[in-house]
Structure 1
């Protein structure tokens, strides 16, 4: 007997290799399924395997499309009393069954990548990067599955807490931890920050040693909500950063509205910047605006000495990338540039 997770409420439900799929509000499809049991305002269809129920759901969806049904409004699938799924979500969760188990059950670890001052050549921080301790799956695949199944809140929370507790006894006070977060997972900033502060205190970490950075894979839809998140973090002494700047959704306008403590410049703008006049012009403009706003600039994805030297020459203050150090389970606190 395997367990799966409710995408919206994170409750567990039982998924059996054989059983019944209850389709609520589909009485009008009774003629298409003469073998179905009609009861409780819907149809019960039996299945005998994981593959069998997936095939049934796909068939139902194709029939609904041909009949011009609006699946999201008219049809839900139920796998346990009070836990309702759309057919599309149920299909997605069954497909990602193994990934759901990994997300729910794994005690993740953090790897650390150094962030270096281009003035002093010293490590001033490490970015904490989520890893599966058994190396079964990549971080990108983890977050892809979490997003598809509605578990991005759970995974994001586990990633943040793992990053905080992983620095204990490994990273000394005064060296910061850069930690990713998804704005969409923070519904109530005050409550979320209170929970994080409690976790920070429990693991004897200083709030001023934490920098939360907005993951750029999410489009910033509600700028005011993100402003509130940043404001609440800052009130607690936690720093904030805008990640992967310039890769898609982040613009100079967004930067000027949010005014984070750090702006992390996407590696696409850093790669071969010493040879690209267009990139150089944009980087210089960004550095000047950042300095005017009191924002610390950080170059991501530095892989060559020439890139690092150009970034230093135009006034970028911090850098991160394979040239300076790869993510490691046990971070080194010294670096040679």
Structure 2
């Protein structure tokens, strides 16, 4: 039976009714009732839910009572408000880990956790729980005593803490909610978390979840050697893939904020404990929880190592990374009819005479990656988009090597494509372009796009690299202008051949007078610098028409051409591998490209 002692009569009434509906017996009593303590020690009472303060009773007395009571039965303390910061918690407010603390506004959590206290936690717990309940030690202690042994899994999602630092508390809370829902949905899924297992949140502030395994069907207690590790690995992969699936959900269904581009690594640790009547059961449980936590941290380290090995494999392989190419066009002589014709034919051929060149975009050969059964990196190959690749590369400290591999693939497959080959490059690789340019010996005209989303920490080296490129008939473009570290002052100093306006500046520019005014000013400044403007990410003719009227010279986007393999582009343009590609004029400072 659950004893409920709260001044919030509406909450108590609703809780009694909902617990009764779930077959859980409960009884209400006032904290100030002289019989309260007597009732707490009644043999039928398995749990106590009570306010953290009682009229006429010193706060310290409440702490002592509930902390002591928590070593015998499950105790849930209800606070009037949530402490947002640890600094708000006085030393005299501290309950021990034997007490679960929630606030009165967390009704679903109170109900789930109360159902958790019903005396038979492994029987239909999920069906009784609207959300994942909170941890209380009495439940695993009961399981440990009943089964003689207990398997403990700890989910460590501490990597989510960085989201709070990078994007703020609102984004962090949304990500925590998505993780909660993913885990709740996996509860009861075969190969993940059995419905008879106990899943709970460690606390309201931590990114840690606990799973207490129901007895093994084979052994009646702990599973056979190695079984817990296999469960932990399966669960890790299931959670990681479910979170990636949430990240790549259709925009209308996506719950993860757009600013989040990758999923922090999650780890699941495991440990088994045996009951020993000669040792305090709380000590056995605490030791098991700590060992499982340490194992989760070790698995996080192992997960990072596997991701590093994945990136190294992709970088070294000749067939796992491949280049696709998106055309860049001279805008001023393109009309809407030509664009429609290209769309109807699903071919770039009608736009052939307007081609300036092609930007190389890296892709993962997903079929080839999937065919390597030895890959175990915690992320499905279908989620390895370019932004994810570079996020993983940065996380595993191989960003420069991945960038070099992308350049190599871009040059290798671009043979015979007309015009200028535009290749993305990190600033730190551009500093050493004299050592990397050998990859492009077979490319007549090449332009390197330096992302404005990464800091340029050595402007002097950047200027030397620009001069080196100029001597070797290679160009430089400032990519992603309008976001990240971009600034007009840097553009003036670097004097790139091309400035690429970021998609954010171009999207719906036909409907936004402020964007139009801003872009017009930049176009004027670019003409003074003898620099060409390229608008990327153009998706509608209305956007293109406004850009054309502004005098922007180059255009790129889905309106005109989606990225394709080089072979498909050559077929559409009628280029045969035996032919020699016609030289295309590279856009250099001062050229008239209109």
Q: Into which bin does the TM-score normalised by the smaller protein fall?
A: 0.5 to 0.7
Question: Could you report, residue by residue, the CA deviation over 1:256-314 in whole angstroms, capped at 9, with x for unpaired residues?
Answer: 11110000001111111111111011100110000000100000111111110110111
Q: 1:241 corresponds to which residue?
A: 477
Cα deviation, residue 54, structure 1: 8.7
2:403 to 151, 156, 172: 156
Q: 1:195 corresponds to which residue?
A: 436
Secondary structure at the residue paired with 1:301?
coil
Question: Could you report, residue by residue, the CA deviation over 1:152-193 in whole angstroms, capped at 9, with x for unpaired residues?
Answer: 121111111111111114x13xx011100011234x53xx32
Instruction: Please tell me whether the aligned partners of residues 287 and 297 of structure 1 are also in contact (alpha carbons under 8 angstroms).
Output: yes
Cα deviation, residue 216, structure 1: 3.0
Secondary structure at the residue paired with 1:274?
helix
- The verdict on how the C-alpha distance between 1:59 and 1:139 changes in structure 2, with shifts beyond 3 A counting, is same
* More off after superposition, 314-323 vs 88-97: 88-97
> What do you get for the CA RMSD once the two structures are aligned?
3.0
Q: Does 1:287 align with 2:528?
A: no
1:262 to 498, 512, 537: 498
Q: Distance in 2 between matches of 1:249 and 1:273?
A: 22
- The verdict on how the C-alpha distance between 1:321 and 1:313 changes in structure 2, with shifts beyond 3 A counting, is same
Cα deviation, residue 119, structure 1: 2.0
2:443 to 176, 194, 205: 205
Cα deviation, residue 249, structure 1: 1.1
Secondary structure at the residue paired with 2:362?
strand
5+ residue gaps, structure 1:
1-47, 63-76, 78-86
2:412 to 165, 189, 210: 165
Secondary structure at the residue paired with 2:462?
helix
Q: Distance in 1 between matches of 2:507 and 2:394?
A: 29
Instruction: Please tell me whether the aligned partners of residues 331 and 554 of structure 2 are also in contact (alpha carbons under 8 angstroms).
Output: yes
Question: Could you report, residue by residue, the CA deviation over 1:112-140 in whole angstroms, capped at 9, with x for unpaired residues?
Answer: 11111012330111111011123632122
Instruction: Please tell me whether the aligned partners of residues 111 and 129 of structure 1 are also in contact (alpha carbons under 8 angstroms).
Output: yes
Q: Does 1:304 align with 2:537?
A: no
Instruction: Please tell me whether the aligned partners of residues 538 and 559 of structure 2 are also in contact (alpha carbons under 8 angstroms).
Output: yes
Q: 2:323 corresponds to which residue?
A: 110
Q: 2:205 corresponds to which residue?
A: none
- The verdict on how the C-alpha distance between 1:287 and 1:91 changes in structure 2, with shifts beyond 3 A counting, is same
Q: Distance in 1 between matches of 2:361 and 2:490?
A: 25
* More off after superposition, 311-320 vs 222-231: 222-231
Q: Distance in 2 between matches of 1:164 and 1:315?
A: 31
- The verdict on how the C-alpha distance between 1:59 and 1:127 changes in structure 2, with shifts beyond 3 A counting, is same
Q: 2:310 corresponds to which residue?
A: 98
Instruction: Please tell me whether the aligned partners of residues 407 and 439 of structure 2 are also in contact (alpha carbons under 8 angstroms).
Output: no
Q: Distance in 2 between matches of 1:117 and 1:287?
A: 16
Cα deviation, residue 333, structure 1: 4.5
- The verdict on how the C-alpha distance between 1:279 and 1:148 changes in structure 2, with shifts beyond 3 A counting, is same
Q: Does 1:127 align with 2:359?
A: yes
Cα deviation, residue 242, structure 1: 0.3
TM-score, with normalisation over the residues of structure 2?
0.39
For these two proteins, the number of residue pairs brought into alignment is: 254
- The verdict on how the C-alpha distance between 1:58 and 1:284 changes in structure 2, with shifts beyond 3 A counting, is farther
User: Relative contact order, CA 8 A, sep 6+: which one is greater?
Assistant: 1
TM-score, with normalisation over the residues of structure 1?
0.67
Cα deviation, residue 61, structure 1: 11
